[in-house]
Structure 1
Amino acid sequence: MRILVVDDHPLLRDGVTALVSSQSDMSIVAQASNGREAIQQFRAHHPDVTLMDLQLPEMNGLDALIAIRGEFPEARIIVLTTYVGDAQILRAVKAGARAYLLKNTLHRELLDTIRAVHAGKKYISPEASYELAEHASEDALTPAEVRVLRSIADGNSNKEIAALLSICEDTVKSQVRNILSKLSAKDRTQAAMIGLRRGIIDA
């Protein structure tokens, strides 16, 4: 199995390379440290499996994943992340990730997951599965509500949000009420913190 490793931390790339290289049925064919490099290396090497970090400079891992899958629909990509927010997991899976692994479980799960994904299977680590299950029955925020939540997290008042998004203040107030209800948040600050923790908005 020919593997591409994409991560901006050299130590993690080295650790994954050492782990993979110890296996007789696997080899690292290329490495990349950002999303743009990942796309270039994929085009050059056509790896069997790609290990993709989500938090990358220049172009994030999700955008790189979408670009690679757009060009190579058969690409088998495993997302590696320190982040377990359910919204981020869903985005990655909908974008075509075949597996979602937390970096702190790599020594236990990476090799088996590479083999499973190479064989056409999908895998989500238990911690990520729990997070998805926790929020599965909740109403998702609409794109408009996500924009308002992002503006709340940036510290804007309702009036400032209305001006920024070119909507009336009453609409903002209504959307803030919906956001608080859907996220079970007691106030705007808690809503922003929940949004960041679950990956609904980025820091």
Structure 2
Amino acid sequence: MIRLLLTDDHPVVRDGLRGAFEGCPDIEVIGEAATGVEALAFVARHHPDVVLMDLRMPELDGVGAIRRLATEHPAVRVLVLTTYDSEADVLPAIEAGATGYLLKDAPVADLQHAIRAAARGESVLAPAVAARLMAPLRRPTPGALTARELDVLRLVAAGATNRAAANQLFISEASIKTHLLHVYAKLGVNDRAAAVGEAYRRGLL
């Protein structure tokens, strides 16, 4: 039996969540808390398996409570349930030690599944949250040098002239100049020497 604590500062939300687990043969709601402080006190006394945690609460917010729980009760799994899906909300909660992150519009079946997964120590992310976290990995970093720009910069760093670099890369000198202009703009410099120095500083070379 998975012993569950509901933590949310809205009684109506807690009532709705309690109803979501009625009839679950393997999940038992053993208590409720309206603040992070209450959640910590309850966990210390009753040691639930999973804490369903809201983020925005008085006295001690969800992230603060998660951080304390991770330190004081590392065996307890914390599953965030909130309406906020921005990176500014998600990342601090995950970094604090949350096992998963769900949104309050999640279907009841998904919520029940997430509680079971959290109890097993598995990470659970709402699809919208996972997509938001993956987005920066799928798009180029603003200002990142292209492979060709790095090729040009490496040759320049080795002392190659524009003509020599063009010959080695089988492109025109005009293309070399264009690539260098893009490199200067992305690195925030004005000349070849500064570009090479900045590239070394950033670990690009």
CA distance in structure 1 between the aligned counterparts of 2:107 and 2:31, rounded to whole angstroms:
19
User: When the two structures are superposed, what TM-score results if normalisation uses the length of structure 1?
Assistant: 0.65
Alpha-carbon distance, 1:81 to partner: 0.7
Q: Deviations over 1:113-146 (max 9, x none)?
A: 011111221111100011111234658xxxxxxx
Find the structure with the greater CA-based Rg. Answer: 2
CA distance in 2, matches of 1:76, 1:117: 6
Contact 1:5 1:31 in 2 (8 A): yes
Which residue pairs with 2:96 in the alignment? 95
- Per-residue CA distance 1:54-77 (angstroms, 9 max, x = gap): 010111011011111110112200
- SS in structure 2 of the partner of residue 94 of structure 1: helix
User: How much has 1:87 moved relative to structure 2?
Assistant: 2.7
Q: Does the 8 Å contact 1:36/1:64 carry over to 2?
A: yes
The residue that corresponds to 2:9 in the other structure is 8
**Aligned partners of 2:48, 2:95: CA distance in 1, in Å?**
21
Distance in 2 separating the partners of 1:57 and 1:138: 37
Equivalent AA in structure 1 for residue 83 of structure 2: T
Kindly state the Cα deviation for residue 90 of structure 1 after the two structures are TM-superposed. 1.3
Cα 1:133–1:78 change in 2 (3 A) is same
Amino acid at match of 1:109: D
In 2, distance between residues paired with 1:98 and 1:119? 10
The amino acid of 1:135's aligned partner reads: P
- Where do residues 68-147 of structure 1 align in structure 2 (5 Å cutoff)? 68-136=69-137
Query: Alignment partner of 1:58: what SS?
Result: coil
**For residue 58 of structure 1, what is the amino acid of its counterpart?**
E
Cα distance in 2 for partners of 1:76, 1:6 equals 13
Q: Is there any run of 5+ residues in structure 1 with no aligned partner, and where?
A: 140-203
Name stretches of at least 5 consecutive residues in structure 2 with no aligned partner. 143-205
- Residue 166 of structure 1: aligned partner: none
Aligned partner of residue 8 in structure 1, secondary structure: coil
**1:20 Cα offset (Å):** 1.1
Summarize the Cα distance change of 1:36–1:28 in structure 2 as closer, same or farther, 3 Å threshold. Answer: same
Structure 2 counterpart of 1:54: 55
The RMSD of aligned alpha carbons is 1.4
Residues 1:51 and 1:106: Cα distance change in structure 2 (over 3 Å): farther
Closer/same/farther in 2, CA of residues 45 and 106 from structure 1, 3 Å limit: farther
Q: Is the 8 A contact 1:86 1:135 kept in 2?
A: no
Name the residue aligned to 2:41.
40
Letter in 2 for 1:22: G
1:108 Cα deviation after fit: 4.0
1:21 Cα offset (Å): 2.2
User: Whole-Å Cα distance in 2 between the matches of residues 48 and 73 of structure 1?
Assistant: 11
Larger RCO of the pair (alpha carbons < 8 Å, separation 6+): 1
Quote how far apart the aligned CAs of 1:8 are.
0.5
Q: Deviation of residue 40 (structure 1)?
A: 0.4
* Corresponding residue pairs, total: 139
> Equivalent pairs: percent with the same residue?
37
